[in-house]
Chains A and B, each alone.
Chain A
Amino acid sequence: MLQSETRPQTILLPVKPVFIILTLVAALLINLLPWSGWLLAIKPDFVALVLLCWCVQQPRRVGFTSAMLLGLAMDVADGSLFGQHALAYSMLAFAALVLHRRVLGFTVKDQILHVIPLLLANDLIILLIRKFAGADFPGVSYFAGSFIAGALWPAIFYLLKLPQVPKTDPDHV
């Protein structure tokens, strides 16, 4: 099934900008849920995940502007240093824009192997910024979220693509 998504290429419908905005806001909303305890420790960064997905699928519509705006929103909501998420997300957007043709050439399963390093790099940038600002390393579980995000990638990729797949009508040629 994963194979069929990429190989016989169907021509997708143009994506609705409202759908992009809605999914990004929804991701922000999920990030803002009152997570706590061990769930918080392994929570993937949904904003980074959805942003990466859109940057790969629609590199001409989602890019640096969305990354910066979402990053600033995350910084304020988290009360973290102003600009740390903005910087990390713009790096993520850059990597996605450069790599999107290559990533799309793989099956969704193999794309995970591209996604996890990118999200880990995202975590690493934030970690480095905080290290410079004088914080302690919060433990290895800090990186756990990115692996879980990698596991969620196929589902997110498929869901974001779904509205663009044309409905095939067998009676219509």
Chain B
Amino acid sequence: MEYTPPPLFNRGPTPLVRLFLCALVSLGLLIADARYQYLDNIRQAVSVVVYPLQRLAGTPGAIFDRIGDFFVTQARLREDNARLAEQNLKNAVQLRQFEALTAENAHLRDLLAARQRIAAGTTAAEVLYTGRDPFTRRVIIDKGLQADLKAGQPVIDELGVIGQVTRVYPWLSEVTLITDKEQVVPVQNLRNGLRAVLGGTGNDGELELKFIPLNADFKPGDRLITSGIDGVYPPGLPVGEVTNVERNAAYLFARIACKPVAGVASHAQVLVVNWENKIPERPPQAEKSAGGKKRRGS
């Protein structure tokens, strides 16, 4: 005859066993996410559950802003209006010139049988909040799959590039700012056309030109624009400005500190650029010579 204890004090597996199981699941998720990026579907499913909470959490701030907007003083409105009218006038003149130049440029490119530049469409979005993860520089914007955003699209404000869409949820997207440590933007120097790669440092308002030889012609005050050769950022968008150049013969590369042009840390409205560059296929022999160990996806 077998006796089993009555299930009065049955508490299931011991905490240690449960911890082991949980740790195993978490580690599995971590590795699958960090190493193989398998989990986008699960992430999106969970995001549907979390989304209402995220919106709810943003509501008090939004209401406060709206009330603040309502009680804006008339003096400030008039001031704003005058300033904007003046700005508009200035812009209008430049716009006329720009239109003329665009037409001329297209015509010249036609004559030279060069590839036409593609005009980029934009989607306006609003920054909901800055990412709370202290290890990265990210913001969350209020457009996602519903607005046809895709991972990889550049994000700009009225002054220049602020970052790139890195993860798209059904109603939200995550934008990695150019100041993030792992974010790079291919740029060129507006003054002399030198190409370079601009990377973030992980600190707000600090960028760094990477792998620039000591003798390269960069000076403080140089303006950096996107070069467009990556096929991700449309060419000609302002990105940053060189603030300090440090040439030390002890190092292989010059240390060139830059600061972003756009309000990377402080912004409410942004534009997501919808720009698909159809680059012709790489010639096969170039692929072969550049291949070998490391082949990077486009």
Measured CB to CB, the residues of A under 8 A from B are 25, 28-36, 40-41, 43, 60, 63-64, 67-68, 71-73, 75-84, 86-87, 90-91, 93-94, 97-98, 129-130, 133-136, 138, 142
Contact = CB atoms under 8 A, between A and B. Distances in A.
A63 B14 CA distance: 12
B279 interface: no
B80 interface: no
12 contacts: A32-B57, A34-B57, A34-B128, A40-B132, A64-B21, A68-B26, A72-B46, A78-B132, A79-B140, A91-B19, A93-B22, A94-B15
A134 B42 CA distance: 23
B53 A25 contact: yes
A90 B30 contact: no
Task: Report whether over half of chain A's contact residues are helix, strand or loop; otherwise say mixed.
Answer: helix
A41 B56 CA distance: 22
A33 B135 contact: no
B241 interface: no
Contacts of B54: 32, 77
Interface of B: 11, 15-16, 18-19, 21-23, 25-30, 32-34, 39, 42-43, 46-47, 49-50, 53-54, 56-58, 60-61, 128-136, 138, 140, 167, 174, 181-182, 202
Contacts of A76: 43, 46-47, 50
A63 B132 CA distance: 25
A64 B129 contact: no
A44 to B, nearest CB: 12
A30 B54 CA distance: 10
A84 B28 CA distance: 11
Contacts of B16: 94
Contact of A79 (B25, B57, B131): B131
A29 B25 contact: no
B135 to A, nearest CB: 4
A68 B25 contact: yes
